[in-house]
Amino acid sequence: MKPAKSEVVVITGASAGIGRATAHAFAKQGACIGLLARSREGLEAAQKEVEALGGHALVLPTDVSDPEQVESAAAAVETAFGAIDIWINNAMASILSPFFDIQPEDFRRVTEVTYLGYVYGTMAALKRMKPRNRGAIVQVGSALAYRSIPLQSAYCGAKSAIRGFTDSIRCELLHDNSNIHITMVQMPAVNTPQFGWIKTSMPHQPQPVPPIFQPDVAAEAIVWAAHHQRRELYVGGSTVEAILGTKLAPGLLDRYLAKTGYSSQQTDQPVAPDRPSNLWEPVSHGNYSAHGQFDAQAKDGSLELWVAKNLNWLTLAVGAGVAGIAIGAVLSHRAQQKSSTEDGDQPSESDVRAEVLRQVRQAKGDDRLHLLVGLASLVWKAFNGKPNSEQPSQRFSTEKLKTDG
């Protein structure tokens, strides 16, 4: 039975990765959660974790590419817990392979799970939310919805389709003056178990493109987005850079990714001949957990997410005005550090971010733009002509932001 005043949440792809981490986050708030995925093994383990954290869970083995299974799962959740308040579409499948090496049936499978799974989930959610005129739908997106990369044509195509589909639905809800909120959370590379079981034709083991973030960061963003009226939410500076870079210099990024996109998605470890794949069937005795194998490299916080949650910077701006402010920040910094730069000492990305934040705090109203922080990284790279991998000591922490403020 649903406890009084507990939210009812549905999460697809809940057996591992971002979905499982999101289940943990909602469980800490005492939510009643419908857990959807193909693997009963993974779902039952997630259920135990949810209940240990103070939530309630219903295990619903579901292939989201089948609309009848999704509809049945939605009905079961409402029978057990009552009206669904939040629906989170997260289930995905992918293939790491050049396009011409992918079989048509495999490409179709990725599309049906990753794109149509969201469509069917949204249908099931709206069927129940529209008569009540309330509810929230969160589409777990990706920077790849804006900036495609090589070797993931099926996945990038699906994520782009989700963005177009969601924008269309949002317009319809606005036309109807609906109180239902639909949002998309654009994720960076995340340390999930998927890289141990996605199908690949490449010689080395798949990996997320650095910088890598922990799934707990993604879960925090999803929970926040479900409760706030934000059209889209960008998580991680790399997401902001990818989206802005595509708008400002798409051809340059095409060439950059052509050179780096193959190696950055593979480790040095060769693919084992008996490596499992979950494209068509869930992996038996797989790593069904929230975290993948890249804990040592993964970040446990996002400056951009902190800014979105803690500052009232609601205006999104991309273009010359924003770039001018950010470039002005860089030039101001360089003017103050003229003697050191003449000696060849370049300002760091963190210094530029700090200067941008200082200038934004002095601005008023709509000039306070949360994307300036990510854009500062782009400007730094443009001025210095090379990427900068921040070490943990260089990150802008929440504590430093509060101290500077």
Catalytic residue annotation: 155
The contacts of residue 93 (CB under 8 Å, 6+ apart) are 109, 110, 113, 114, 155, 198, 278, 279
User: How remote is the C-alpha of 249 from its chain's centroid?
Assistant: 22
Pairing of strands 136-142, 86-89: parallel
Helix axes 40-52, 17-27, angle to 10 degrees: 30
Distance in angstroms (rounded) separating the CA atoms of residues 79 and 68: 17
**Cis status, amide bond into 211, omega within 30 of 0:** yes
Give how far Cα 356 sits from Cα of 135, 236, 333, 380, 405, Å: 37, 17, 9, 11, 13
Phi first, then psi: what are they for 186, rounded to 5°?
Answer: -90, 115
CA separation for the pair 74, 96 (Å, rounded): 32
d(CA 309, CA 356): 18
Q: Of 164, 263, 266, 182, whose CA–CA distance to 229 is shortest?
A: 182
Closest-CA residue to 359 (of 403, 319, 327, 382): 327
